[in-house]
């Protein structure tokens, strides 16, 4: 699969409580990283979608996917192509049904990550077309475990940076087949399991810095969970 869209399908803007990444900064990184666009997947909000539509009109050379990262009872779930927030902290299977009923595509975020992942046992049986198999803020082991489950089940792959700052944009991305351009086509290829993940996992030194940053952000928001 070469020559198709390369989209970072997991990105957080300043509309997420733990992110300092402005959409303008994310767009500035696309050319640097050789990306075709990204999905905006803020935590439990679609407040950034109006600005995303403005950016799409201003930068027609890129593709922007409206999305959200949903906190479910078992862990975090990415939803692409939805324009409203589903009921939060519900069972993940019910949340997936809600996403599909509203025309979107649901993909478990970093399923093998200890914090906020749905876990391998649920990932082995959950009815979804793809798993996030390359998360730029995951360890290599966690990404490899997710990739193994996806391969064993014949699922598609998605990749995303999980960026919360400009430097992280593009660490992970999803490759689509050639000829895919529209949002409808992007969603359909996800449903058809025709996507592959690419990118780099977290190195040990980066893990330490991320852990320090995560603790600082949790303190700043009064240890409120996301």
The reply to whether 153 falls in a domain is yes
Q: How confident is the model at residue 211 (pLDDT cuts 50, 70, 90)?
A: low
- Its domain, for residue 155, covers 6-220
pLDDT at 224: 66
Question: Mean of the pLDDT values across residues 103-125?
Answer: 97
Residue 62 lies in a domain: yes
Residue 226 maps to a domain: no
What pLDDT digit, counting tens, does each position of 40-82 carry?
999 999 999 999 999 999 999 999 999 999 999 999 999 999 9
Tell me: pLDDT of 104 over 80.
yes
The answer to whether residue 66 is domain-embedded is: yes
What's 32's domain CATH number?
3.20.20.140
pLDDT exceeds cutoff 90 at 221: no
Asked if residue 1 belongs to a domain, the reply is no
Q: How many domains in the chain?
A: 1
User: Is the pLDDT confidence value at 95 over 60?
Assistant: yes
Residue 55 falls inside a structural domain: yes
HEC string of the chain?
Answer: CCCCCEEEEEECCCCCCCCCCCHHHHHHHHHHHCCCEEEECCECCCCCHHHHHHHHHHCCCCEEEEEEEEECCCCEEEEECCCCCCCCCCCHHHHHHHHHHCCCEEEECCCCCCCCCCCHHHHCCCCCCEEEEEECCCEHHHHHHHHHHHHHHCCEEEEECCECCHHHCCCEEEECCCCCCCHHHHHHHHHCCCCEEEECCECHHHHHHHHHHHHHHHHHCCCCCC
What pLDDT band is residue 203 in, cutting at 50, 70 and 90?
A: confident
Is 200 contained in some domain? yes
* pTM of structure: 0.91
């Amino acid at each position: 699969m070469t020559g198709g869209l390369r989209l970072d399908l997991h990105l957080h803007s300043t509309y997420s409580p733990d992110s300092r990444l402005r959409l303008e900064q994310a767009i500035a990184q696309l050319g640097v990283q050789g990306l075709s666009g990204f999905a905006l997947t803020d935590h439990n909000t679609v407040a950034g979608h109006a600005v995303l539509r403005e950016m799409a009109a201003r930068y027609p050379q890129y593709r922007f996917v409206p999305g959200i990262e949903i906190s479910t009872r078992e862990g975090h779930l990415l939803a692409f192509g939805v324009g409203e927030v589903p009921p939060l902290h519900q069972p993940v299977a019910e949340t997936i049904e809600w996403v599909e009923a509203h025309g979107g595509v649901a993909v478990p975020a970093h399923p093998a990550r200890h914090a906020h992942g749905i876990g391998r046992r649920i990932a082995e049986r959950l009815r979804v077309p793809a798993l996030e198999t390359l998360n730029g803020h995951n360890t290599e082991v966690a990404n490899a475990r997710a990739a193994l489950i996806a391969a064993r089940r014949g699922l598609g792959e998605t990749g995303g940076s999980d960026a919360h700052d400009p430097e992280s944009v593009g660490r992970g991305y999803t490759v689509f087949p050639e000829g895919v351009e529209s949002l409808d086509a992007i969603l359909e290829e996800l449903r058809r399991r025709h996507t592959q993940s690419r990118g780099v996992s977290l190195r040990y030194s980066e893990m330490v810095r991320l852990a320090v940053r995560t603790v600082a952000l949790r303190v700043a928001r009064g240890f409120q969970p996301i």
